[in-house]
A = this chain, B = another copy of it.
Amino acid sequence: MKPRKVLEIKQSIFADNDQEAEKLRTQLKQKKLFLLNLMSSPGSGKTTTLTKTIQARKDQLRIGVMEADIDSDVDAKTISQLGVRTIQLHTGGMCHLDADMTRQGLEGIGTDELDLVILENVGNLVCPAEFDTGAVKNAMILSVPEGHDKPLKYPLMFQVCDVVLVNKIDVLPYFDFDMEKCKEYVHMRNPNALILPICARTGEGIEQWAEWLKEQVAQWQT
């Protein structure tokens, strides 16, 4: 196991991010490496969800995690304790990652002998949605306390995500969150989005999500 390290990634010099993203995806396909881009608001439970996902599948998949953060490395510390390869990416104030920054991160973590790398993007529902990171799939977490109206207010984020994990369903009784309306609004933005209610804290729904992810990796590697 490599030690956890911190990488200061630099702002991209490439003008055409879409082209860089496609190039990165092609390289990932050749390496049979699946990259998942995980996005959400601050505090929606990305790190806890990631912890449970890793625990559920680390015996079947070789997993690496890139923790993008503006400054701290608290999340990378948490994840590295699970015994998977981890790198902290410091964006130096940048509010998102683009494809070149993601490539820098992949070079830093080292992609040999990995099946799946999960990029925990900066906590933000706006900017990360605007930049294709080169990931094979995009996932996002919407937590119950944030409210079911978020797809109305952050349209692009929901549009670009293949999966929406609705987290913290254990606190549904304490919030005015309408799951049916949430599903309706998500599908307004993206009719193909898979919506999975989960509770990362208790583990509810994690098995279905982890299985979906494992199937995606298997498909990508064939």
Contacts and interface: CB of A to CB of B under 8 A. Distances in A.
A106 B191 CA distance: 38
A122 to B, nearest CB: 7
A74 B171 contact: no
Nearest to A153: B72
Interface residues of A, number: 36
Question: Copies per complex?
Answer: 2
A207 interface: no
Nearest to A144: B145
A3 interface: no
A43 interface: yes
Contacts of A125: 42, 123-124
A130 interface: yes
Interface in A151-180: 152-156, 168, 170-171, 174-175
A41 interface: yes
Contacts of A143: 43, 145
Contacts of A115: none
A11 to B, nearest CB: 14
Nearest to A91: B126
Interface of A: 41-44, 69-72, 74-75, 93, 95, 122-127, 130, 143-147, 149-150, 152-156, 168, 170-171, 174-175
14 contacts: A42-B150, A42-B154, A43-B145, A43-B147, A44-B146, A70-B155, A71-B153, A71-B155, A95-B126, A123-B153, A126-B127, A127-B127, A145-B171, A174-B174
